[in-house]
Amino acid sequence: MKAKLNRVSGFPAHAFLAAALVVCAATAVRAGDPADGMAKVLDGYVTSERIAGVVSVLSDRDYHVQFDCAGWAERGKHKMTPDTLFAIFSMTKTFTGAALMCAIDDGKLSLDDEVAKYLPEFADVKMKDGSKPNRLLTIRHLTTHTTGWRGGTGVVNRDIPLREVARQLAARPLSFQPGETFAYGNAWICSAAACLEIAVGKPYEVYLKERVLDPLGMKDTTFTPNAEQLTRLVCAYTSDDKPLRPAADRCVQQLVFPKAKPVFPSASGGLFSTPRDMIAFSQMLAHHGEWKGKTIISRKTFDSVFAVKQTPVGIAQPYTCGSWLYGDWFGHEGAMRTDQRANLRTGHSRVFFIQTENKAGSAFFQLKKDWHAAADKIQGTPPTVFGN
């Protein structure tokens, strides 16, 4: 079956709800978006059955938003819309970073704080040879993947609480001295969230909701989708440059409901969200912590902490607290290939939603490049830098 384009686009912020209900197969030409622009890029990949469906959202600095939705959330049944629910995996890390910035604003913690101040078991961390590390392990090390540990706890199905993730991590020996190497992982971000819980005196997910999600109106961003939200949950497909078929890698388990046992919030990769919700978060980042007159993160904390490379001198990876910094772009990808970017110089933001196998295939990676190129043209931004 050939999938047809289902597109909602070109509407200002006050028309979001009405726009989401519009289904249009005709080509729409928007100011700044030529007739052969984003719609053609996405539709080409869907009609050739290289992907099942995709959503693109672009925003300018004045909060004018363009939605482009192509193809199927569930093939033959449900089209992609701005309100389709996706697992966003490691995009969650940037939310954890934002919550930590709020705690810094509240005077509850500092990135320089020793982890053992909040989680006493970390006072006994040892190197593989049994010696003590040559420097204190800090929250900065946890949030920038520079702890010195390797391996760790995954996020699929999220079957242990944050505090237990941290306890298990502290019991393991360090492979390298803190702050001397970069190794991307999930357990250290979850341990940073466990510190946050102690510092603010609330569960991580409660604090995140109160300080970030609710002020941004992100009603569909959650660790535990409810029954209504699950009716909008996307299905995952892959082609791997072969006929399109349901995805089958381990990450797909995140989309399986009901769960066989209780799940817990994963601060490194457990959130679900929608394109409509995520563009608000990206807009906030592009506006240095502000969103439509609301201060989510103070400009001082955002500019001096969040928007600054926090990996130590000598480590090349341009990572801050739960997010990548490439040129003017601030953002993160997710395991099933969602993407979020905010331009700290121009105020533009963009999000890309697809649900495919983590390994994806060449068609997907070419689509991502084509999407960024079309977005750069529409938004008038320099060519996107790739790296994460």
pLDDT of residue 364: 83
> What pLDDT does 384 receive?
81
Whole-number pLDDT of residue 365 = 85
Q: What is the pLDDT of residue 154?
A: 61
> Which domains does the chain carry?
13-87+219-288+300-306+315-379 (3.40.710.10), 91-209 (3.40.710.10)
Separation of alpha carbons 240 and 244, rounded Å: 8
The number of residues in the chain equals: 388
Question: Which stretches of the chain score pLDDT less than 70?
Answer: 1-32, 34-36, 152-157, 386-388
Q: What pLDDT, in 10s, does the model give residues 123-164?
A: 999 999 999 999 999 999 999 999 999 976 666 658 899 999
- With CA atoms as reference, report the closest residue to 173 among 122, 136, 138, 139: 122
pTM summary value: 0.91
> What residues form DSSP beta bridges with 274?
none
If one counts every other C-beta atom within 10 angstroms of the C-beta of residue 369, the result is 12
